[in-house]
Amino acid sequence: MTSLSDIELIAQRASGRIRDADTADDLEKVRVDLLGKKGEITALLKTLGSLDGETRRVVGSRVNELKENLTGALTQRRVELNDQSSLSQPVDVTLPGRAPGAGSLLPITRVMHDLNDAFAALNFEVYEGPEITSELYEFDNLNFPPEHPAREAMDTYWLEGSENRQSAERLCLRPHLTGASVRYMQTHKPPFRFVYPGRVYRNESTDARHERAFFQYEALIVERDFSFTSGRLLIENILGTVFGRPVTTRMRAGFFPFVEPGFEIDMQCVLCGGSGCQLCKHVGWLEVMPGGVPHPGVFAAAGIDSNEWMGFYINVGLDRLVMMRHGIDDVRLFHGGDLRFLSQFR
């Protein structure tokens, strides 16, 4: 015989089952178990007839109330379940992600773009010189002495047919970017500031540290009053932007024909912070860029009066910088074209 306390027990259990049903199928099964032809509540209703009057009224009213409550709870739970998902099958959320349109840029390109942005913020113009150029622009205008070894075939890629000519008629793949600076200066009026990134070529054997083709980034600023002490601040500013944090540099004597005075600019080792490690050969400093004040001979070639104007060159070897930034140990990987390497730089 069913007592009111039994009914309460059934009610609690039934509410629990409805709450716990996780899928529409589960819920349907619960409905059948409770309210189906052979369901628990249906069976309970069938027993009411055997009860006496007052008991039947009390119990009957409680069972009907329960049936209504459960029917409501089932409906509510069904809506809840329907709102949860419209998928016929859940998605395997552990599958590896795949970005649409996920190509990659050469890591050197990325640094080049970063530098473009950094210099653009300082209002530098972007300029590009030709890749095939002449001895006039790459050597004569840049104060390279006539007997300088870089003028020889063993260092520079001269073009067939022009290799025995002179100056403007002797053509080569550009061995550095600096020649383009004179082209710019000849066609613009100072003051100016511009960058001219690109690839340059040297005739040499390749190994893990040497390439025939490599990337440089060069900048020149020309103002009436621009001491090299200001140039150094400019460099720290740019390096800080590229590395995303303040960078400590030092400036020391260096020699390049097209600058006077010339500098080597070292950056405190990014790996050890200056205490000495393998990357910096235990000196705590990394050579990142040469720079200097345009040689009066260069200004003269560019048609600029070096008594009136002062300037500052910065040249960054991008291959080395990128190798440092990513810990890449072989410079040949950049030109290797191997997507297993290149696709790492998304």
Q: Please list every residue from 97 through 156 that binds other proteins, using CB under 8 A.
A: 100-106, 109, 112-113, 116, 120, 123-126, 128, 130-134, 136-137, 145-147, 149, 152-154
Token pair in block for residue 31: 């409905």
Q: Shortest gap between Cβ of 92 and other proteins (angstroms)?
A: 21
176 class by beta-carbon count within 10 Å (0-12 exposed, 13-18 middle, 19+ buried): buried
Between 192 and 243, CB nearer to other proteins: 192
Q: Which residue number, 52 or 160, has a Cβ lying nearer to other proteins?
A: 160
Report long-range pairs for 229-236 (Cβ below 8 Å, ≥24 apart): 230/312, 231/291, 231/293, 231/312, 231/314, 232/265, 234/122, 234/312, 234/314, 235/265, 235/289, 235/291, 235/314
Q: Which amino acid is at 301?
A: A
* Contacts (CB under 8 A) with other proteins, residues 299-318: 306-307, 310
Near other proteins in 6-65, by CB under 8 A? none
Residue 164 CB, nearest distance to other proteins (Å)? 9
- CA Rg, the chain, in Å? 39
Instruction: Give the per-residue contact string, 259-288, with other proteins (x = CB under 8 A; - = no).
Output: -xxxxx----------------x-------
Residues between 174 and 203 that touch other proteins (CB under 8 A): 182-183, 186-187, 191-193, 199, 201, 203
Give me 111's structure tokens.
């640094």
Query: Is 132 strand, coil or helix?
Result: strand
Segment lying near other proteins (by CB under 8 A), choices 12-20, 58-66, 81-89, 160-168: 160-168
Give, as ranges, the residues between 210 and 239 that touch other proteins (CB under 8 A). 212-213, 223-230, 232-234
Nearer to other proteins, 35 or 106 (CB): 106
Strand partners, 222: 192, 311
Q: Of 45, 251, 277, 279, which one interacts with other proteins (CB under 8 A)?
A: 251
Report whether 185 contacts 302 (CB < 8 A). yes
243 binds other proteins (CB under 8 A): no
Please provide residue 254's backbone torsions phi and psi, each rounded to the nearest 5 degrees: -150, 160
